[in-house]
């Protein structure tokens, strides 16, 4: 199947997150955004009142049959992502799907395979790869080698709410931390260890502690919870020479670069190593003022023209990619 040349856009899902996508489509792709599909009459009414110029409907088949539509943006609950993405790809449309792409590896691989075989763009909404502070960490500091080898990453994504019932806390917001760690290390996990606990219900975990091993011995530990007293959105990267703290809640200094570390000295006369602690200055780099979602959507729409992206938006493809078996845990 050849890639579509039509430049129209359809969005599926206008719940909590969908309105952010709609706002950006209206602002940056107004002439191209044609349809919005949602199963909920209330959400359709809301969308129609905000965007009277758009065809707001529950009829996805009719929208997918519209030959002027070349790209579909999916922002529905996670369990529906793989099937909706497949359906849109079947109809010959490029697809942007919110994270996570799917809830099983088999589904993720099969959707990616389908897009690849059809020559269609499939992009997953890993928004944090477009956050200026994350890009700064990656492009300037880590790529430039300023912090030395990355030793470990620690992230916390905590709050009281938004409690979900269909997926656990990690599926809900943990993909952000995994995508940040993959992006920063420029690699993919070698192994994963995860523990979670259900305190509020019997089916999904409210708090999860996930440790991910990357090549070169880099450890990433991710603490994710919707049952926590404080809103925390923090990623700490400890390098051999310097350390970074990205605190998304800190409006004035989202990213801090600490000239801190520990240097090993010669062993003393008893054979025990001595260490010199470095407690140098802290620097706050200037960050671009852009909305990550706008950059992300722009990237997707550009890719639909060049058809240059399959499933990943940044970083390197995993060694097992494409379509062989994913790595197993130790
Ligand atoms: N990138 C980010 O930072 C970010 C932030 C929040 C949510 N998200 C993602 O956005 C997606 C949506 O999350 P949400 O919190 O808005 O969910 P939600 O449940 O609030 O909204 C989903 C909407 O999709 C509609 N819907 C469900 N199934 C449908 C179908 N088959 N066809 C058409 N409409 C359908 C529902 O009626 C609802 O209006 C999730 O994948 C979530 O992970 C991403």
The residues spanned by each domain of the chain are 8-125+292-306, 129-283
| CA 172 to ligand 1: nearest atom | 43
Asked whether the domain spanning 129-283 has the same topology as the one spanning 8-125+292-306, the reply is no
Q: Which CATH superfamily is domain 129-283 in?
A: Dihydrodipicolinate Reductase; domain 2 (3.30.360.10)
* pLDDT of 320 over the 90 cut: no
Q: What predicted TM-score, i.e. pTM, was given to this entire model?
A: 0.91
pLDDT tens per residue, range 156-208: 999 999 999 999 999 999 999 999 999 999 999 999 999 999 999 999 999 99
Instruction: Tell me the per-residue pLDDT of 36-55, one tens digit each, with 9 for 90 and over.
Output: 999 999 999 999 999 999 99
Percent of the chain past pLDDT 70, that is, above it, reads 91
Q: How far is the CA of 139 from the centre of ligand 1 (A)?
A: 31
Element (H, E) at 195: strand 191-197
Rg (C-alpha) for the chain, rounded Å, is: 22
The more confident residue out of 125 and 266 is 125
Q: State in Å: Cα 18 to ligand 1 middle.
A: 6
1: pLDDT strictly greater than 80: no
Residue from 85, 90, 155 nearest 124 by CA: 85
Banded pLDDT at 315 (limits 50, 70, 90): very low
- pLDDT of 311: 44
The pLDDT of residue 4 is: 66
| Pocket-testing residue among 10, 14, 17, ligand 1, by greatest number of atoms within 8 A of Cβ | 17
Q: What is the average pLDDT across 133-147?
A: 89
38 pocket-lining for ligand 1 (C-beta < 6 Å): yes
Q: Is the CB of 209 under 6 A from ligand 1?
A: no
* Distance in Å, CA 285 to ligand 1 centroid: 34
3-state DSSP assignment of residue 288: coil
User: What is the full DSSP assignment across 15-30?
Assistant: SSSHHHHHHHHHHHST
Domain 8-125+292-306 has CATH 3.40.50.720: yes
**Three-class secondary structure of residue 111 per DSSP:** helix
With beta carbons less than 8 A apart as the criterion, state whether 146 and 140 touch: yes
């Amino acid at each position: 199947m050849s890639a579509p040349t039509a430049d129209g856009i359809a969005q599926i899902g206008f719940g909590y997150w969908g309105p952010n996508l709609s706002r950006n489509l209206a602002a940056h792709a107004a002439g191209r955004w044609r349809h919005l599909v949602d199963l909920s009459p209330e959400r359709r009414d809301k969308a129609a009142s905000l965007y009277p110029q758009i065809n707001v409907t529950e009829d996805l088949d009719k929208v997918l049959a519209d030959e002027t539509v070349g790209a579909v943006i999916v922002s529905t609950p996670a369990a529906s992502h793989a099937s909706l993405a497949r359906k849109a790809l079947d109809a010959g449309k490029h697809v942007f799907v919110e994270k996570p792409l799917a809830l099983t590896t088999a589904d993720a691989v099969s959707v990616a395979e389908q897009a690849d075989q059809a020559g269609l763009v499939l992009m997953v909404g890993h928004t944090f790869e477009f956050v200026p502070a994350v890009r700064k960490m990656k492009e300037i500091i880590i790529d430039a080698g300023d912090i030395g080898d990355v030793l470990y990453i620690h992230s916390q994504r905590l709050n009281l709410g938004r409690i979900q019932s269909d997926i656990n806390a990690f599926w809900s917001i943990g993909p952000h931390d995994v995508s940040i760690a993959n992006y920063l290390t420029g690699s993919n996990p070698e192994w994963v260890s995860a523990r979670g606990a259900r305190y509020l219900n019997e089916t999904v975990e409210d708090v999860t502690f996930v440790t991910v091993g990357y090549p070169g011995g880099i450890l990433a530990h991710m603490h994710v919870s919707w049952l926590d007293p404080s809103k925390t959105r923090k990623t700490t990267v400890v390098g051999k020479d310097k350390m970074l703290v990205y605190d998304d809640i800190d409006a004035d200094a989202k990213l801090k670069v600490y000239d801190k570390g520990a240097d090993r000295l010669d062993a003393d006369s008893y054979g025990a190593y001595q260490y010199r602690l470095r407690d140098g200055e802290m620097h706050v780099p200037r960050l671009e003022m852009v909305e990550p979602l706008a950059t992300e959507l722009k990237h997707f729409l550009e890719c639909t023209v060049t058809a240059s992206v399959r499933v990943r938006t940044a970083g390197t493809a995993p060694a097992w990619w494409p379509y062989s078996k994913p790595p197993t845990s130790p």
